[in-house]
Amino acid sequence: MRDNLHDYRKNYKHGSLDEESVDPNPFQQFRTWFYNVQNAGGVDEVNAVTLSTLGVDGFPKGRVVLLKKYDENGFYFYTNYNSEKGKSITVHNKVCLSFFWPNIERQVIIKGTAEPTSESDSKNYFASRPKGSQLGALVSHQSTVIPNRDVLENELKALEENYEGQEVPKPEDWGGYLVRPIEFEFWQGRPNRLHDRFRYRMEGYDWVIERLAP
């Protein structure tokens, strides 16, 4: 146990990213890195990502969500549309996704705009979840104040009985968001704090790739 956090130091040495190896397509670069992280092992939830939003109170807020899909359109996660993040996105749809993968010393930061996914996408994903998670989504009016834990447990019990042997319907206020990127940054830890950073930003219909100082 350390009290002096100054002594936490690490010399990054797992890899590099350079002008020759960086992919012209940021989605492909993400795919390669995501595979590398999974293959390297040692990270429990490689798809855990910090989603930052700008709140209706003007403050930014980050919280972890699970990335459930990515494709050439962008990055998908699922949540309650009436949660704090849902309300924030309704007002300010500009968001940021940040991944940190300590096993191979990489960070990816994606700025983009969030939009709700189609009802059929949300329904399909909801239907694929274990029944316990489906009922949990029904029970939890995410981000509202509740008096105690019992209200959740009691509601869950009641719903378990209600939906015994039946399909659980997706709550209306629950579904997916697609984050369409406008900027990516790939960060690879390197020795002596001289890390590799490459940023992709949209110019017209093209991605411009630039190296940033660490």
Decide if 14 contacts 104 (C-beta within 8 A).
Answer: yes
- For residue 66, the minimal CB distance to ligand FMN (Å) is 4
Residue 113 lies near ligand FMN (rule: CB under 6 A):
no
Nearest to 134 by CA among 81, 107, 170: 170
Residue 126 lies near ligand FMN (rule: CB under 6 A):
no
Stretch of residues binding ligand FMN (CB under 6 A), selected from 16-24, 27-35, 64-72, 153-161? 64-72
Among 12, 33, 34, 77, binds ligand FMN (CB under 6 A): 77
Q: What would the x/- binding string for ligand FMN be over residues 32 to 51, using CB under 6 A?
A: -------------x--x---
Active-site residue (options: 31, 190, 193, 197): 193
Task: Give CA–CA dist 37/34, Å, rounded.
Answer: 5
Residue 121 lies near ligand FMN (rule: CB under 6 A):
no
Among 31, 69, 84, 103, binds ligand FMN (CB under 6 A): 84
Q: At what angle do helices 131-139 and 150-162 cross, to 10 degrees?
A: 120
Number of shown-chain residues binding ligand FMN (CB under 6 A): 15
Burial class (CB in 10 A: 0-12, 13-18, 19+), 86: buried
180: annotated active-site residue = no
Segments of the chain assigned E as strands: 48-54, 60-66, 69-71, 74-80, 94-101, 106-116, 174-188, 196-203, 206-211
Decide if 111 contacts 96 (C-beta within 8 A).
Answer: yes
Positions touching ligand FMN (CB under 6 A) are: 45, 48, 61, 63-66, 77-79, 83-85, 142-143
What amino acid positions are annotated as catalytic residues?
A: 193
